[in-house]
Amino acid sequence: MKIRSFVEQKGTLNVRMYSDYAPSGDLELIFDYYAPRDATDKTETSETPKQIPEPFIWLVFYALAEALFALNTGVCAKTGGADTGTSLDDIRKKKKGPWTSHQHADIKPKNIFLASPEDPYGAYPKPLLGDFDVAQPIRSQSASARRQERGTPGWKAPETENKDLHPVYDITSKTDIWAVGLVIWELMHASLGTERLELLRSTAATNFAFHANDTFPSERILGWNAMYTQTLHDLVTRCLKINPNQRPSFIELRKEVWEGMQRLKGVLGDFEGVDVVERLRLRFERGDEFAVGGVAELPERKKRKGGGGEELAPMPGDT
């Protein structure tokens, strides 16, 4: 998410930032459209989509991989896979001046905003990672300091959440990789409902020993019957490895997600453009209350009476 402008409050450390506008809200709202319906819900039909379309999940995956790439290199890479195979040394040569890798530390659906669709994927809102208020240079502090009260419980990586793992694994760029994997895992399991997903996350956070492969559970969950490609399953599973060294790097992740998107087109057909087939359409709010060039309707203000009994419009600062 781009910072369009900022204003510093004189005499304080407060800064107000102005970023891209996201008319479709945030990723958390998508779960409301795919949550289990009550049996009495008359809007539920046999044709109602039960799972989030896989192309959109890959788009979120790629947007987050791009964001981690920028946080770790200082380079906003060319979207489209043209340089996904470039080495880190070559990437750093493009950056003018030094750059310190940063950890976002609070990646979750609520901090992933949905901007207006853009070409070539006009059928889906554009995901943007925002809310960098707890982001920090990865090597600027001690390991213990970097773990202090940062991020959101249930969305933290094992090396951050579990004290038993603190002496074993340090905080690195792969700590954010875990959170990215968990966001994608939840999108794949949206049909379980937010309450059940939250329970699964909170249970995992207490032990991180819930699967034979030492990764977050992605199969054999009662009541889950969504179908996604094995490529997506495998990549998410690797992102959610308890051992950070077994997770992909931010460069590997960006490359593999791009390649996965290309392979998906061979499986599901092209999902570029505005008009995609019904089974690939995403349910989301397209309204734009504050569209550029539009007119916002303000609520009527109560009028006050002047000394002569006439009604006066309220002055700025009136209460």
Chain center to CA of 163: 26
Chain center to CA of 265: 23
Render pLDDT for 23-42 as a digit per residue (tens, 0 to 9).
Answer: 888 999 998 888 776 545 54
Question: What CA–CA distance (Å, rounded) separates 86 from 73?
Answer: 12
Which run of H or of E encompasses 112?
strand 112-115
3-state helix, strand, coil in the chain (%, to 5): 35, 10, 55
Query: What is the pTM for the complete model shown?
Result: 0.80
Helix boundaries (H) for the chain = 28-34, 54-73, 88-94, 143-146, 158-161, 174-188, 194-207, 230-239, 250-268
Q: Residues 107, 129: contact at Cβ < 8 Å?
A: yes
Q: Residues 11, 277: contact at Cβ < 8 Å?
A: no
Per the DSSP assignment, residues forming a β-bridge with 19 are 3
Render pLDDT for 71-116 as a digit per residue (tens, 0 to 9).
Answer: 998 887 665 554 555 666 666 666 667 788 888 989 999 999 999 8
Give me the residue spans of the domains in the chain.
Answer: 24-36+47-280
Counting beta carbons within 10 angstroms of the beta carbon of residue 174, is it exposed (0 to 12), middle (13 to 18) or buried (19 or more)? Answer: buried
Chain position carrying tokens 């060039």: 293
Half-sphere exposure of 227 (CA within 13 A, CB side): 5
CATH 3.90.1260.10 correct for 24-36+47-280:
no
Mean pLDDT per 10-residue run, the chain (319 residues)? 66 70 87 70 56 95 94 74 60 70 91 92 93 78 58 83 69 92 92 82 61 57 75 92 91 94 90 89 72 64 53 46
pLDDT of the residue at 315: 43
